[in-house]
Amino acid sequence: MYNPDLPLEVRVVDKIRETPSIFTLHLEFTDPDIDLEYRCQPGQYNMLYLYGVGEVPISIVSDPEHRGPLEHTIRSVGRVTRGLDRLRVGERIGLRGPYGRGWPIREAEGRDVVIVTGGLGCAPVVSMIRYVLRRRERFGRLVIMQGVKHTDELIWRKQYEQWQRLPNTQVLLSSDISGPNWPFSVGKVTVLFNQARLNTRKSIVMLCGPEMMMKASIERLLALDMPPEAIWLSIERNMQCGINHCGHCQVGPHFVCQDGPVFHYPELAPWLGVTGF
Protein backbone atom coordinates (compact mmCIF):
# COMPACT_ATOMS: atom_id res chain seq x y z
CA MET A 1 0.00 0.00 0.00
CA TYR A 2 1.41 3.40 -0.95
CA ASN A 3 0.59 5.65 1.93
CA PRO A 4 1.11 9.34 1.20
CA ASP A 5 1.09 10.15 4.88
CA LEU A 6 3.73 7.75 6.15
CA PRO A 7 6.60 9.80 7.65
CA LEU A 8 10.29 9.18 7.04
CA GLU A 9 12.86 9.12 9.80
CA VAL A 10 15.18 12.11 10.17
CA ARG A 11 17.94 12.83 12.67
CA VAL A 12 18.53 16.13 14.41
CA VAL A 13 22.10 16.98 13.36
CA ASP A 14 22.12 20.47 14.83
CA LYS A 15 19.91 22.69 16.91
CA ILE A 16 20.32 26.45 17.05
CA ARG A 17 18.69 28.61 19.69
CA GLU A 18 17.53 31.82 18.02
CA THR A 19 15.58 33.32 20.97
CA PRO A 20 14.18 31.80 24.19
CA SER A 21 11.15 30.59 22.22
CA ILE A 22 12.52 30.20 18.68
CA PHE A 23 14.93 27.52 17.55
CA THR A 24 16.18 26.03 14.31
CA LEU A 25 16.47 22.29 13.72
CA HIS A 26 18.86 20.89 11.14
CA LEU A 27 17.52 17.54 9.99
CA GLU A 28 19.01 14.77 7.92
CA PHE A 29 17.27 11.68 6.54
CA THR A 30 18.66 8.53 8.11
CA ASP A 31 18.23 6.81 4.75
CA PRO A 32 20.85 8.44 2.48
CA ASP A 33 18.90 7.45 -0.67
CA ILE A 34 15.98 9.61 0.41
CA ASP A 35 18.36 12.45 1.12
CA LEU A 36 19.39 12.36 -2.54
CA GLU A 37 15.84 12.17 -3.86
CA TYR A 38 14.33 14.88 -1.68
CA ARG A 39 13.44 18.08 -3.56
CA CYS A 40 11.59 21.16 -2.36
CA GLN A 41 10.76 24.72 -3.39
CA PRO A 42 11.20 27.91 -1.36
CA GLY A 43 8.00 28.53 0.61
CA GLN A 44 7.03 24.86 0.97
CA TYR A 45 6.74 23.10 4.31
CA ASN A 46 7.21 19.70 5.90
CA MET A 47 5.07 17.93 8.46
CA LEU A 48 7.37 17.21 11.40
CA TYR A 49 6.36 14.35 13.66
CA LEU A 50 7.39 14.22 17.30
CA TYR A 51 7.29 10.61 18.37
CA GLY A 52 4.12 9.70 20.27
CA VAL A 53 2.95 13.31 20.34
CA GLY A 54 1.88 14.51 16.91
CA GLU A 55 2.69 16.41 13.74
CA VAL A 56 3.06 20.10 12.88
CA PRO A 57 3.57 21.92 9.56
CA ILE A 58 6.86 23.83 9.54
CA SER A 59 8.28 25.85 6.67
CA ILE A 60 11.60 24.92 5.20
CA VAL A 61 14.13 27.73 5.56
CA SER A 62 17.11 26.12 3.86
CA ASP A 63 17.88 26.67 0.20
CA PRO A 64 16.11 23.99 -1.84
CA GLU A 65 19.12 23.16 -3.95
CA HIS A 66 21.62 23.25 -1.15
CA ARG A 67 22.65 19.69 -0.39
CA GLY A 68 22.83 19.30 3.33
CA PRO A 69 20.55 19.20 6.30
CA LEU A 70 17.03 20.58 5.98
CA GLU A 71 16.56 23.61 8.20
CA HIS A 72 13.34 24.39 10.04
CA THR A 73 12.93 27.44 12.25
CA ILE A 74 10.24 26.81 14.83
CA ARG A 75 8.50 28.91 17.43
CA SER A 76 7.37 26.98 20.53
CA VAL A 77 3.71 27.84 20.89
CA GLY A 78 1.73 24.58 20.93
CA ARG A 79 2.22 21.21 22.57
CA VAL A 80 4.08 19.68 19.63
CA THR A 81 6.38 22.65 18.98
CA ARG A 82 7.19 22.89 22.69
CA GLY A 83 8.03 19.22 22.58
CA LEU A 84 10.23 19.72 19.52
CA ASP A 85 11.99 22.46 21.49
CA ARG A 86 13.19 19.75 23.89
CA LEU A 87 14.89 17.70 21.20
CA ARG A 88 18.62 17.25 21.42
CA VAL A 89 21.15 16.63 18.67
CA GLY A 90 21.12 12.97 17.65
CA GLU A 91 17.44 12.41 18.43
CA ARG A 92 15.09 11.22 15.72
CA ILE A 93 11.76 12.46 14.51
CA GLY A 94 9.49 11.82 11.54
CA LEU A 95 9.16 14.02 8.46
CA ARG A 96 6.87 13.98 5.47
CA GLY A 97 6.77 16.46 2.66
CA PRO A 98 7.53 18.77 1.06
CA TYR A 99 3.99 20.00 0.72
CA GLY A 100 2.13 22.91 -0.77
CA ARG A 101 2.77 25.64 -3.27
CA GLY A 102 5.91 27.68 -2.74
CA TRP A 103 6.94 31.14 -3.88
CA PRO A 104 6.60 31.95 -7.61
CA ILE A 105 10.26 31.59 -8.58
CA ARG A 106 9.70 31.73 -12.34
CA GLU A 107 7.51 34.82 -12.18
CA ALA A 108 10.12 36.46 -9.97
CA GLU A 109 13.02 35.99 -12.37
CA GLY A 110 14.22 39.24 -13.90
CA ARG A 111 12.17 41.33 -11.50
CA ASP A 112 12.89 43.20 -8.31
CA VAL A 113 11.99 40.99 -5.37
CA VAL A 114 10.30 42.87 -2.55
CA ILE A 115 9.95 40.95 0.71
CA VAL A 116 7.62 42.24 3.43
CA THR A 117 7.45 40.39 6.73
CA GLY A 118 6.08 41.16 10.13
CA GLY A 119 6.42 39.83 13.63
CA LEU A 120 8.07 36.48 13.94
CA GLY A 121 6.63 35.23 10.68
CA CYS A 122 9.72 35.64 8.57
CA ALA A 123 10.68 31.95 8.31
CA PRO A 124 8.65 31.23 5.13
CA VAL A 125 10.47 33.96 3.17
CA VAL A 126 13.96 33.15 4.41
CA SER A 127 14.39 30.31 1.92
CA MET A 128 13.30 32.70 -0.84
CA ILE A 129 15.82 35.33 0.26
CA ARG A 130 18.53 32.70 0.31
CA TYR A 131 17.40 31.45 -3.08
CA VAL A 132 17.71 34.94 -4.59
CA LEU A 133 21.08 35.58 -2.98
CA ARG A 134 22.57 32.39 -4.35
CA ARG A 135 21.33 33.21 -7.86
CA ARG A 136 21.77 36.93 -7.67
CA GLU A 137 22.17 37.50 -11.41
CA ARG A 138 18.72 36.11 -12.20
CA PHE A 139 16.90 38.75 -10.15
CA GLY A 140 16.76 42.52 -9.97
CA ARG A 141 16.95 44.52 -6.76
CA LEU A 142 16.20 42.72 -3.51
CA VAL A 143 14.25 44.80 -0.99
CA ILE A 144 13.62 43.28 2.44
CA MET A 145 11.26 45.02 4.83
CA GLN A 146 10.80 43.51 8.27
CA GLY A 147 8.66 44.87 11.06
CA VAL A 148 8.60 43.64 14.67
CA LYS A 149 6.60 44.65 17.72
CA HIS A 150 9.56 44.95 20.07
CA THR A 151 13.18 45.39 19.13
CA ASP A 152 14.14 42.17 20.94
CA GLU A 153 11.81 40.16 18.69
CA LEU A 154 14.15 40.56 15.75
CA ILE A 155 15.86 37.28 15.16
CA TRP A 156 18.71 36.85 12.68
CA ARG A 157 19.80 40.46 13.22
CA LYS A 158 23.32 39.57 12.12
CA GLN A 159 21.97 38.02 8.98
CA TYR A 160 19.94 41.15 8.18
CA GLU A 161 23.01 43.30 8.73
CA GLN A 162 24.97 40.98 6.44
CA TRP A 163 22.31 41.19 3.73
CA GLN A 164 22.24 44.98 4.12
CA ARG A 165 25.85 45.20 2.98
CA LEU A 166 25.22 43.25 -0.24
CA PRO A 167 25.04 45.15 -3.52
CA ASN A 168 21.66 45.84 -5.06
CA THR A 169 20.01 44.87 -1.79
CA GLN A 170 18.02 47.10 0.53
CA VAL A 171 17.18 45.95 4.06
CA LEU A 172 14.74 48.03 6.08
CA LEU A 173 13.76 47.23 9.65
CA SER A 174 11.19 48.77 11.94
CA SER A 175 9.87 48.16 15.42
CA ASP A 176 6.54 49.32 16.82
CA ILE A 177 8.26 50.20 20.08
CA SER A 178 11.80 51.51 20.03
CA GLY A 179 14.47 50.14 22.32
CA PRO A 180 18.15 50.61 23.15
CA ASN A 181 20.61 49.88 20.36
CA TRP A 182 17.95 50.19 17.63
CA PRO A 183 19.35 52.23 14.76
CA PHE A 184 16.38 51.36 12.51
CA SER A 185 12.90 52.81 12.02
CA VAL A 186 10.12 53.03 14.58
CA GLY A 187 6.51 52.18 13.64
CA LYS A 188 4.61 49.58 11.66
CA VAL A 189 6.27 47.87 8.73
CA THR A 190 4.30 50.16 6.41
CA VAL A 191 6.43 53.16 7.53
CA LEU A 192 9.27 51.53 5.59
CA PHE A 193 7.44 51.77 2.28
CA ASN A 194 8.43 55.41 1.92
CA GLN A 195 12.10 54.56 2.29
CA ALA A 196 12.00 51.57 -0.03
CA ARG A 197 13.12 52.14 -3.57
CA LEU A 198 10.22 50.44 -5.30
CA ASN A 199 9.81 50.14 -9.02
CA THR A 200 6.19 49.07 -9.12
CA ARG A 201 6.42 48.17 -12.80
CA LYS A 202 9.10 45.54 -12.44
CA SER A 203 8.61 44.22 -8.91
CA ILE A 204 7.19 41.09 -7.39
CA VAL A 205 6.14 41.34 -3.75
CA MET A 206 6.20 38.46 -1.29
CA LEU A 207 4.64 38.88 2.11
CA CYS A 208 4.32 36.82 5.21
CA GLY A 209 3.37 37.53 8.79
CA PRO A 210 0.19 38.34 10.68
CA GLU A 211 -2.75 38.66 8.26
CA MET A 212 -3.75 42.12 9.45
CA MET A 213 -0.20 43.35 8.86
CA MET A 214 -0.24 41.81 5.37
CA LYS A 215 -3.61 43.36 4.62
CA ALA A 216 -2.40 46.81 5.72
CA SER A 217 0.81 46.39 3.72
CA ILE A 218 -1.06 45.34 0.60
CA GLU A 219 -3.40 48.34 0.88
CA ARG A 220 -0.36 50.59 1.08
CA LEU A 221 1.30 48.83 -1.86
CA LEU A 222 -1.83 49.15 -3.99
CA ALA A 223 -1.96 52.85 -3.10
CA LEU A 224 1.60 53.10 -4.39
CA ASP A 225 0.34 51.63 -7.70
CA MET A 226 1.71 48.16 -7.18
CA PRO A 227 -0.44 45.93 -9.42
CA PRO A 228 -2.40 43.29 -7.40
CA GLU A 229 -1.06 40.60 -9.74
CA ALA A 230 2.47 41.34 -8.54
CA ILE A 231 1.62 40.43 -4.94
CA TRP A 232 2.02 37.01 -3.32
CA LEU A 233 1.59 36.05 0.30
CA SER A 234 2.07 33.06 2.59
CA ILE A 235 -0.56 32.28 5.22
CA GLU A 236 -0.93 29.79 8.06
CA ARG A 237 -3.84 27.62 9.14
CA ASN A 238 -4.36 24.51 11.23
CA MET A 239 -3.00 21.70 9.07
CA GLN A 240 -3.17 18.11 10.15
CA CYS A 241 -2.82 16.05 6.99
CA GLY A 242 -0.99 18.34 4.55
CA ILE A 243 -2.59 16.50 1.64
CA ASN A 244 -5.94 18.25 1.14
CA HIS A 245 -7.98 15.73 3.11
CA CYS A 246 -8.51 16.73 6.75
CA GLY A 247 -10.37 20.00 6.03
CA HIS A 248 -8.94 22.17 8.82
CA CYS A 249 -6.95 24.61 6.72
CA GLN A 250 -9.76 25.87 4.51
CA VAL A 251 -10.00 29.58 3.85
CA GLY A 252 -13.10 30.08 1.75
CA PRO A 253 -12.64 27.79 -1.25
CA HIS A 254 -8.90 27.24 -0.64
CA PHE A 255 -7.13 24.40 1.11
CA VAL A 256 -4.08 26.23 2.46
CA CYS A 257 -2.08 22.99 2.78
CA GLN A 258 -1.99 22.40 -0.98
CA ASP A 259 -3.45 25.46 -2.74
CA GLY A 260 -1.06 27.47 -0.52
CA PRO A 261 0.57 28.24 1.80
CA VAL A 262 1.73 30.76 -0.83
CA PHE A 263 -1.18 32.47 -2.60
CA HIS A 264 -1.46 34.91 -5.42
CA TYR A 265 -3.06 37.97 -3.83
CA PRO A 266 -6.05 38.16 -6.26
CA GLU A 267 -7.04 34.60 -5.23
CA LEU A 268 -7.02 35.40 -1.55
CA ALA A 269 -8.23 39.02 -1.64
CA PRO A 270 -11.92 38.29 -0.86
CA TRP A 271 -10.93 36.27 2.23
CA LEU A 272 -7.97 38.13 3.65
CA GLY A 273 -8.78 39.65 7.00
CA VAL A 274 -12.37 38.36 7.06
CA THR A 275 -12.96 37.17 10.64
CA GLY A 276 -13.71 33.46 10.77
CA PHE A 277 -12.05 32.37 7.53
Partner 1 sequence: MSAWSPEHPDALDQLNQRPQPRPKVAVHKFSSCDGCQLAFINAGEALITLSQLVDIVHFAEAGPLDAEAEVDIAFVEGSISTPHEKERIEQVRRQSRFLVSIGACATSGGLQALRNFNSHSAEQWTQAVYAQPAYIDSLETATPVAEHVKVDLELWGCPVNARQVFAAIRALLFGVMPLIDKDKLCVECKRRGNVCVLVAKGEPCMGPVTHLGCGALCPAFGRDCYACFGPAENPNTHALARRFVGLGLLPEEIAHRFHFINSHTPAFRSAGLEWAE
Partner 2 sequence: MDTQYAFLPRNALDQLLDALRKAGFDRLVGPIARDGAIVYDTLTSAAQLPHGYRDEQAPGRYRLHQADSGRCFSWANGTQTLKPLTFAPQEVLWHCERDAEGCLRFKNPTVNHSPTAVIGVRACDLVALRLQERHFLGGRFHDPHYGARRESLFLLAVHCTHPAKTCFCASTGDGPKAAIGFDIALSELDEGFILEAGSLRGGELIRTLALDDATERQRELAKTEIETAALQQSRSLPSQNLREALYARLEDRHWDKIGMRCLSCGNCTAVCPTCFCHAEHSVPTLDGTQTTHQRQWDSCFTAVHSYMGHFLVREETRLRYRQWLSHKLASWHDQYGRSGCVGCGRCITWCPSGIDLTAEVAALTRQETSHV
Positions in the binding site for partner 1 (CB under 8 A): 50-54, 76, 79-80, 82-83, 85-86
> For 139, phi and psi rounded to 5 degrees?
-125, 160
Distance CA 237, CA 269 (A): 16
Residue 5 touches which member of partner 2, partner 1, none, C-beta under 5-8 Å by kind: partner 2
Distance CA 63, CA 142 (A): 17
Residue number with CB closer to partner 1 (35 or 91):
91
b/e sequence 9-31, b meaning 16+ C-beta within 10 Å: ebebeebeeeeeebbbbbbbbee
Rule CB under 8 A: is residue 91 a binding residue for partner 2? yes
**Partner interacting with residue 86 (select from partner 1, partner 2, none; CB below 5-8 Å by kind):** partner 1
Tell whether residue 266 is a contact of partner 2 (CB under 8 A). Answer: no
Size of the site for partner 2 (CB under 8 A): 45
Longest CA pairwise span in the chain (Å): 59
**Which residues, 183 to 222, sit near partner 2 by CB under 8 A?**
none
| Closer of 104 and 119 to partner 2 (Cβ) | 119
Strand-pairing partners, residue 74, are: 23
93 interacts with, out of partner 1, partner 2, none, CB within 5 to 8 A per kind: partner 2
Residues 85 and 91: beta-carbon distance below 8 Å: no
Among 52, 167, 180, 183, interactor with partner 2 by CB under 8 A: 52
Q: Compute the least distance from the CB of residue 51 to partner 1, in Å.
A: 8
User: Which of partner 2, partner 1, none binds 85 (CB below 5-8 Å, type-dependent)?
Assistant: partner 1
Closest C-alpha among 219, 232, 238, 220 to residue 277 = 238
Q: How far apart, in whole angstroms, are the C-alpha atoms of residue 112 and residue 203? A: 4
Contacts of 252 (CB under 8 A, 6+ apart): 270, 271, 277
CA distance 113 to 214: 16
* Phi and psi based region of residue 35 (left: phi greater than 0; alpha: psi -120 to 50; beta: remaining): alpha
Helix (H, G, I), strand (E, B) or coil at 18: strand
Minimum distance, C-beta of residue 54 to partner 1, in the bound complex (Å): 8
Q: Which does 7 bind (CB under 5 to 8 A by kind): partner 2, partner 1, none?
A: partner 2
CB 95 → partner 1: shortest distance, Å?
A: 18
Residue 245 interacts with partner 2 (CB under 8 A): yes or no: yes
Q: Which of 77, 166, 212, 224 binds partner 2 (CB under 8 A)?
A: 77
Q: Give the one entry of partner 1, partner 2, none that residue 6 binds, where binding means its C-beta sits below a cut-off of 5 to 8 angstroms depending on kind.
A: partner 2
In terms of CB distance, is 149 or 215 closer to partner 1? 149
Measured from the CB of residue 271, what is the shortest distance to partner 1 in angstroms?
23
Q: Which residues in the chain belong to E strands, given as ranges?
A: 8-19, 22-29, 45-50, 54-59, 70-75, 92-99, 112-118, 142-150, 169-177, 185-186, 203-208, 231-234, 250-251, 254-255, 262-264
Q: How far is the CB of 15 from partner 1 (least distance, A)?
A: 14
Q: Give the footprint of partner 2 on this chain (CB under 8 A).
A: 1-9, 30, 49, 51-55, 77-78, 81, 90-94, 236-238, 240-241, 243-248, 250, 252-253, 255, 258, 270, 274-277
